[in-house]
Amino acid sequence: MRRRIRALMAAFAALPLALAIAPSAHAADPTTMTSGFYADPDSSPKRWAAANPGDGRAAAIGTSIANTPMARWFGSWSGTIGTATGAYAGAADQRDKLPVLVAYNIYNRDYCGGHSAGGAASPSAYASWIAQFAGGIANRPAVVLLEPDSLGDYGCMTQGQIDERESMLTGALAEFNRQAPNTWVYLDAGNPVWASPATMAQRLHEAGLRQAHGFSLNISNYFTTAENTAYGNAVNSELNARYGYTKPFVVDTSRNGNGSDGQWCNPSGRRIGTPTRLGGGAEMLLWVKTPGESDGNCGVGAGSTAGQFLPEVAYKMIYGY
């Protein structure tokens, strides 16, 4: 607690300078307010390993996956959202750990892909939901990854729908800035093959990136950390050239140990990557997608639903086969 108070005092002391340099950036650094990342005690691999102690795969899954800090995803399944995010951030805060949360409920979610379709019932419903999400975290330290894939695929959307989506994201960032001052929010920027760096820089900027702490890459995908780092740096070059600023970025390394084979939906032969940590080529390397959770009814997850934990897939991902 004393460390947290000192960090807050230092942050407040630096506030005028921070605002002069980057008006939209939070002064507080949640990584200095905590003693490492929070490992979700109720993650799907954790629950499976505890329920199946006699299974020959349980020890490896428990050691290599379940005990690694990873993100918890929040959406329509989360119940009263402010209560859910508040409970999760509060549990992490009690242990002096930094939680990683994913907001995944935007209106017309996965509109073009369809595998994870759903989301809020309307833009106004989303605005209410995300405001409660931020309010639940309040002043606790946290990292939030905002709406994976939302800027990746505009191929089937009208300009009106694109404008609507970008407005929802801009509004979401404003809520976090207003209600969650110790949260770093990363606006999702897809992966290296979805859009060119110039296109993604424009989409990020138009969706309010200046208000965010940074952007996220590779969520639920398989591209190597090196590929993502090169792409993130290229996006920043475009941001700097076009708009005069850059932002830090994070990479989802949960399943990128063997890189991508060009398939995104439950490909075989993938492997877990570098565990959650600060640095490593990006501001953070994070396990965002839980290894072993299905991408949908496809590939080695045929017959499963998106998000379903598949122990055999998790087990093979530990060894890369």
- Which residues are catalytically annotated? 110, 149, 295
State the Cα–Cα distance between residues 238 and 242, nearest whole angstrom: 6
- Decide: 145 and 219 in contact? Cβ < 8 Å: yes
**Cα-to-chain-centroid distance, residue 156:** 24
Strand partners, 215: 187, 249
- Decide: 314 and 65 in contact? Cβ < 8 Å: yes
Do strands 249-252 and 72-74 pair parallel, antiparallel, or not at all (unpaired)?
A: unpaired
Q: How far is CA 112 from CA 48, 116, 126, 184, in A?
A: 32, 10, 19, 28
State the Cα–Cα distance between residues 310 and 312, nearest whole angstrom: 6
Other CB atoms within 10 A of residue 11 CB:
18
Measured between alpha carbons, how far apart are the two ends of the chain, in Å? 44
Q: How far is CA 217 from CA 67, 151, 245, 314, in A?
A: 23, 11, 18, 22
